[in-house]
Amino acid sequence: MPVQALPLVASGLAALGIGGAQQATENLSPEQKLELLKQAGQTLTGTSGIMAMKDKLPEKKKEEEEEKKPEPDPDIDLPDILKKDEEEDTRGGGKQYHGAKGEIQRLVDGYYNNKNYYGNGFYTTDALDIAEGYKGKKDKGVVYEVLEKKENKLFDLENKITKKNIEDFENYLGPSLSESINFDLNNFKGKSWKDAYDEIRDDLISEDMTANDITDELDIINEFFAKNGYDGITYEGGKLTGVKPHSVKQYFYPEESVEIKQFGKPVMEESTGTLYSPQDSVLKEKIRPVLSKDLLKPKYLAKLEEDSDISCGQCYAASEAAFHTYGKENGFTSAYLTSKDFPEGLPEGDTHWFLRNKKTGEIIDPTAEQFGDTPIPYDKGKGAGFLTKEPSKAAQTIIDRINQKKIVKKAYGGFIDKPLYDTKKDIF
């Protein structure tokens, strides 16, 4: 094989981004190299056909091929992220998402988690597959779409650290705090802020600092940004977990900056073909527990049997509550079925109310359980507005019961919502 052909193989492989191409080709005999070139459709005067060689190279030693990566967070479903990454890619689509292991009752400032790589805040991503992974493996996991309530000012951590940045940071700290922190920003001049966070974290880990202490150190930088008028930080994620890059926006004060709505795909009921909104089950979980007989009009109360579902006779008020708490702002309108439309489920003269989205065809029906397994012919429903623009007395009572909560501060600084009353004990 001509001498000038030998570097050709390596240079072509290197052009494809195959590391160690020169060492890989040195392990081949001239005949093997020539065979690779032939199979790739390659002449000895160019580099076309190199791509065909990629799968034919001898494997490099494992220790040379693999890069050291941080231990994965056990709470993140990384295999699920990698799988979903190939199925649906929302990156660059202009929307942000947040995955949680349970329902978020209320956004509060000061979200604390010592596993947060870049200090505390409300983390969001433009990659739906990443958010899906963070909701965990449990059925209670939820993905939220994150909507900005205002024009938030976010600092880009990809920016380089300048001399002026260092001076401003030192002035912000003052002499006493400068001596107490465990890093020196001067060591990162010219590097990106993101690299500084990463190196500071790694250095503090090597010094056996606790996760809480490391988070507190990184929060000093975040507080510096907040003091200078920033609502949060943004950067490219994915490097630490080894997944496809995605855009992260991290909000310091989420209660002021964003609002969330539960995200999901419509659920198709196979037996009827009904397309239920992903919010249907969410609203049922909120509304059904606060329904009670005292909300019923006398004519409906008289029709109730002992074993009747609690939602019987409450479709109008429950649909109203669903409309005013979610449907109105999300394209849903009210509709109803008559006993002629639905004789299998409704006594003569009765009606059944629900919400539907004309654009998507999705249904929200918080009282569907009253009909058991009887299919509901939503396609026969007629559109009609509620009698009043504001919630009726019964609907407002339902909304008030849903919202009647007190905030209980937990020891670690998070918050949970706890109802002020026991539904079964105090209402029924």
Q: What is the pLDDT of residues 258-310, one digit of tens each?
A: 988 888 777 777 777 889 998 898 899 889 999 998 998 887 787 777 667 88
Name the β-bridge partners of 407.
417
Block residue for tokens 């509550």: 321
| Cα→Cα distances 79→70, 130, 249, Å | 16, 11, 23
Residue 78 has pLDDT above 60, yes or no: no
88, 134 Cβ separation under 8 angstroms: no
**298 CB-near residues (< 8 Å, 6+ apart):** none
**C-alpha to C-alpha distance for 206 and 414, rounded to whole angstroms:** 29
Work out the mean pLDDT of the chain and round it to a whole number: 77
Which pair of tokens denotes residue 71? 């231990």
Residue 423 has pLDDT above 50, yes or no: no
Instruction: For residue range 18-55, list pLDDT tens digits in order.
Output: 334 444 444 555 455 445 444 444 333 333 332 333 33
- Band of the pLDDT at 417, cuts 50, 70, 90? very low
**C-alpha to C-alpha distance for 336 and 355, rounded to whole angstroms:** 8
Instruction: For residue range 360-384, list pLDDT tens digits in order.
Output: 899 999 999 999 989 999 999 999 9
Pairing mode of beta strands 232-237, 154-156: parallel
The region that residue 335 occupies, defined by phi over 0 for left and psi between -120 and 50 for alpha, beta otherwise, is beta
Instruction: For residue range 230-268, list pLDDT tens digits in order.
Output: 999 999 998 877 889 999 999 999 999 998 888 877 777
pLDDT reported for residue 110:
63
pTM of the shown model? 0.53
**C-alpha to C-alpha distance for 38 and 29, rounded to whole angstroms:** 14
pLDDT reported for residue 425:
31
Comparing 18 with 319, the larger pLDDT belongs to 319
- CB-side neighbour CA atoms (13 Å) of 278: 11
Question: Residue 287: what residue type?
Answer: I
Which pair of tokens denotes residue 231? 């609502």
pLDDT reported for residue 135:
84
Block residue for tokens 């500071």: 200
Residue 112 has pLDDT above 70, yes or no: no
pLDDT reported for residue 53:
33
> Which of 127-141, 349-363, 395-409 ranks highest by mean pLDDT?
349-363
pLDDT reported for residue 111:
62
Q: Which of 74-83, 91-100, 209-218, 330-339 has the lowest mean pLDDT?
A: 74-83
Longest pairwise C-alpha distance within the chain = 99
Residue 151 has pLDDT above 50, yes or no: yes
Domain boundaries, the chain: 3-65, 69-263, 265-403
Average pLDDT for 122-143: 86
Residue 214 has pLDDT above 70, yes or no: yes
